[in-house]
Amino acid sequence: MNVRRVIPAAALGGAVALGATALTACSGASAAGGHEDGKLQVMSSFYPMQFLAEQIGKDHVKVDTLTKPGVEPHDLEITPRQTGRLGASDVVLYLKGLQPAVDKAVAQSGVKHVVDAAALTKLEVHASSGHDHAHEGEEGAGEEAHDHGHDHGEAGEDPHVWLDPVKYAEIAKGVGAALEKADPGHAADYRKNTDELTGKLAALDTEFKDGLQNTSSRTFITTHSAFGYLAERYGLDQEGISGVDPESEPSPARVKELQAVAKKDNVSTVFFETLASDKTAKTLAADTGLKTDVLDPLEGISDKSQGADYFEVMRSNLKNLQKALGSK
């Protein structure tokens, strides 16, 4: 998001403390068999990557993450010590363009098996209003003033691919293949686990399709324009409160514009995310006579999350969307 939170280095110092001992002990090893516990050492950049590694690797992997639970990941900064821990890993799993500091650290890590999730599926450019994409040409030009992407590289691709179960499954297949290559002795298990996970993601996709097929409205308003892929997959329109810090009040002009959108598209709810304040959503809701609810971009799991893992939170998102859109 364009919200830039400064995260103190001290707060991040313990982000991977749980895995520090294991990772330090395995420095220089290049295969699972080279570690005392015989497990493949996997470092993930943030929760969606961690979840894939855990689901596919299961008992054969030891997974750690650079982003502490409950921390908004976009502007994570990591220390030289954490960069060193990357070099002690067998596999690094990240999403290039989401966390610049991680991108730099990965490039310097020297790890043999590096998996960039952004290379495992097609990324697109999403505006914060509606379905407008850069590849649709002039048609989306009018939304440019409202596009408040996360400044993800020159092309401005939207990195939030994990919120589309279909694209997340594509990434899962690539992660599974990478684990097989890094630890061929357990390749059959990785293939089995990958098939099991992609099957669950296909079922989740069906739940979203069926659950959002017949609704009173197709438009939702959110403080974080992270749901472009989800909106496109299920025929919805995302209206982001563009250019506004989730913890500050939206501009009068944008409030007026969103009031018109809400009236025209029968919008009932303003969504906010779990890792940021709900102040903006509440302010806009008060000004427009709307309700507020949570739509979680699943960048991390905390005690505030509406679920304990990816699938539980995604189903909470579906339930909240159905309620807001007037599912029939």
DSSP string computed for 48-96: HHHHHHHHHHGGGEEEEESS-TTS--TT----HHHHHHHHT-SEEEE-T
* Residue 249 pLDDT > 60: yes
* pLDDT computed for residue 29 by the predictor: 38
Report the alpha-carbon angle 211-215-220, nearest 5. 95
Of 55 and 135, the one with more pLDDT? 55
* Residue 251 pLDDT > 80: no
* pLDDT computed for residue 79 by the predictor: 79
Q: Which two tokens stand for residue 83?
A: 């960069």
Say which amino acid occupies 133.
H
* pLDDT computed for residue 16 by the predictor: 36
* pLDDT computed for residue 129 by the predictor: 64
Instruction: Give the Cα separation of 213 and 154 in Å (integer).
Output: 35
pLDDT tens-digit map of 107-127: 989 999 999 999 999 999 987
* Residue 33 pLDDT > 80: no
What pLDDT band is residue 35 in, cutting at 50, 70 and 90?
low
What pLDDT band is residue 130 in, cutting at 50, 70 and 90?
low
pLDDT tens-digit map of 140-153: 333 333 333 444 44
* Contact yes or no for 9/73 (Cβ under 8 A): no
What pLDDT band is residue 69 in, cutting at 50, 70 and 90?
confident
* Contact yes or no for 159/119 (Cβ under 8 A): no
* pLDDT computed for residue 276 by the predictor: 76
* pLDDT computed for residue 22 by the predictor: 35
Q: In the block, which residue shows the tokens 């739509």?
A: 295
Q: What is the 3-state secondary structure (H, E, C) of 179-233?
A: HHHHCHHHHHHHHHHHHHHHHHHHHHHHHHHHHCCCECCCEEEECCCCCHHHHHH
Instruction: Give the Cα separation of 309 and 155 in Å (integer).
Output: 31
* pLDDT computed for residue 126 by the predictor: 84
Q: In the block, which residue shows the tokens 């509440």?
A: 282
Of 68-77, 93-102, 307-316, the range with the lowest mean pLDDT is 68-77
* Residue 277 pLDDT > 80: no
* Residue 312 pLDDT > 80: yes
* Residue 8 pLDDT > 80: no
Cα–Cα distances in angstroms (integers) from residue 249 to residues 24, 41, 287, in the given order: 45, 44, 11
* Average pLDDT value for residue range 13-34: 39
* Average pLDDT value for residue range 82-93: 91
Q: In the block, which residue shows the tokens 């502007």?
A: 75
Of 62 and 81, the one with more pLDDT? 62
* Average pLDDT value for residue range 75-81: 81
Using DSSP, state whether 188 is helix, strand or coil: helix
Helical segments of 224-300, H only? 228-233, 252-265, 279-288
* pLDDT computed for residue 146 by the predictor: 36
* Residue 72 pLDDT > 90: no
* Average pLDDT value for residue range 245-249: 55
Instruction: Give the Cα separation of 269 and 263 in Å (integer).
Output: 12
How many Cβ atoms sit within 10 Å of the Cβ of residue 175?
A: 25
Of 12 and 172, the one with more pLDDT? 172
Of 22-36, 181-195, 267-281, the range with the lowest mean pLDDT is 22-36
* Average pLDDT value for residue range 209-224: 94
Sheet holding 61-65, edge to edge: 61-65, 40-44, 91-94, 113-116
Half-sphere exposure for 101 (CA within 13 Å, toward CB): 18
* Contact yes or no for 239/245 (Cβ under 8 A): no
* pLDDT computed for residue 32 by the predictor: 52
Using DSSP, state whether 245 is helix, strand or coil: coil
* pLDDT computed for residue 40 by the predictor: 97
* Contact yes or no for 53/63 (Cβ under 8 A): yes
Percent of the chain at pLDDT exceeding 90:
58
